Amino acid sequence: MNKKLLFNFLAVVMLASLILSACGSAPTEAPAAPAETEAPAATEAPAATEAPVTAGLACAPNCQYSDLVIGFLQTGSEGGWRAANTASFKETAEQLGLTLKFYDSQNDLAKQVAGFHQFIQDPEVNVIVLAALETTGWEEVLQEAKDAGKIVVIEDRRIDAPETLYSTYIGSDFALEGRKAAEEMCKLLEGSESKKVWELVGNVGSSAAKDRGQGFREGMTACGIEIVNSQTGNWSATEGKQVTEAWLKESKDVQGIFAQNDEMGFGAIEALKEAGLVPGVDVKILSVDATAGAFKAMLAGELNVTVECNPLLAPQVYEAALNAANGEELPAWVPSQEGVFRSDDPNLQEITDGRTY
Ligand code: AHR
């Protein structure tokens, strides 16, 4: 009898331990790979182990605009476009009731990076908005911002950094603007035997300058435009004028000027007039931005075309910041909608009257 009891007890213990080991232990072998698994392509998206760009703020999923304290790193104040961009951020912040801390980088990259660090260390700031002076050199600060739990939104100028380090980029397709500019210059120089063009370049390290230049070069081959001079005017009317004056001293054999922004176009117009040439007639002038000043110059017949670059980005940027705060995943890039305006537009006066920047 005792033997039988002992046998039964041992049998129960063995059965129980078998069941437990089957339920709790890890499989001893890795599962076989599916027969048709393909090796990942070299260009594949970042590893899935990377933490999501924004896990949202503590207020998620009910964050309101009043919960946002935004540190905005502006490039500087180089002209009408930038003034409109800055005003858009300040006015919209007031309308929405969010707190804006504004930092003027004064077109100095070292200052902009210092400002970035300042916002990372500021415990009140939960969102950083960057209008980058240069495309490169951002990875380290972006990683620091991410580690500190800050949301980063890139506005206006795209950067060369992994998309996993920021929430989204809201801004123009600068390469498209360059291609549109080339297409318009081709039309302006149609029938001209010689198609020599001078290019006034923006700040050379910026995405706006690089991509507009590249887009223009892609488009200009369609009609045989030749860029014979290309130099930076740093987005400024004064420098645009100085560069054009220096070129005019060497030669007046030029049929078109492609100014990468309106301000440099205004400088070129002044230089041409002082050299006894008629801007818009003797030399076709094309610029980018479509600010109120460009419309006035077109009404005066001195500027032929302006390609639009939209500076009123704050409503989209703030909305994106709020969505990121609430833990939403955002598209890597939201391009702005933009047009082209020509001096022979029959509605030019009306458009000019409605232009607020
Ligand atoms: O990034 C946009 C460019 O920056 C504008 O075309 C120029 O005017 C500004 O400074």
Q: Ligand 1 in contact with 261 (CB < 6 A)?
A: yes
Nearest CA to ligand 1 atom 6: 261
pLDDT for residue 55: 74
Q: Is 78 in the pocket of ligand 1 (CB under 6 A)?
A: yes
- Residues facing 70 on adjacent strands: 100, 127
Contact 109, 131 (CB under 8 A): no
Domain 65-171+312-326, CATH number (from 3.30.465.10, 3.40.50.2300, 3.30.830.10, 2.30.30.60)? 3.40.50.2300
In short, whether 289's Cβ falls inside 6 Å of ligand 1 is yes
CATH fold of 174-309+341-353: Rossmann fold (3.40.50)
311 CA: nearest ligand 1 atom = 2
**Cα 289 to middle of ligand 1, angstroms:** 7
Sorted by where each begins, the domain ranges of the chain are 65-171+312-326, 174-309+341-353
Q: How many CB atoms lie within 10 A of CB 167?
A: 26
Render 119-159 in DSSP notation, one character per residue. Answer: HHH-TT--EEEE--SSSSS-HHHHHHHHHTT-EEEEEES--
Provide the percentage of residues in the chain whose pLDDT is more than 70.
85
Q: State the average pLDDT for the chain.
A: 89
pLDDT in tens, 126-164: 999 999 999 999 999 999 999 999 999 999 999 999 999
pLDDT for residue 28: 29
* Cα 158 from Cα 210, distance rounded (Å): 11
Q: Is the CB of 67 under 6 A from ligand 1?
A: no
pTM of this prediction? 0.85
Q: How far is the CA of 37 from the centre of ligand 1 (A)?
A: 47
pLDDT band at 53 (very low <50, low <70, confident <90, very high): low
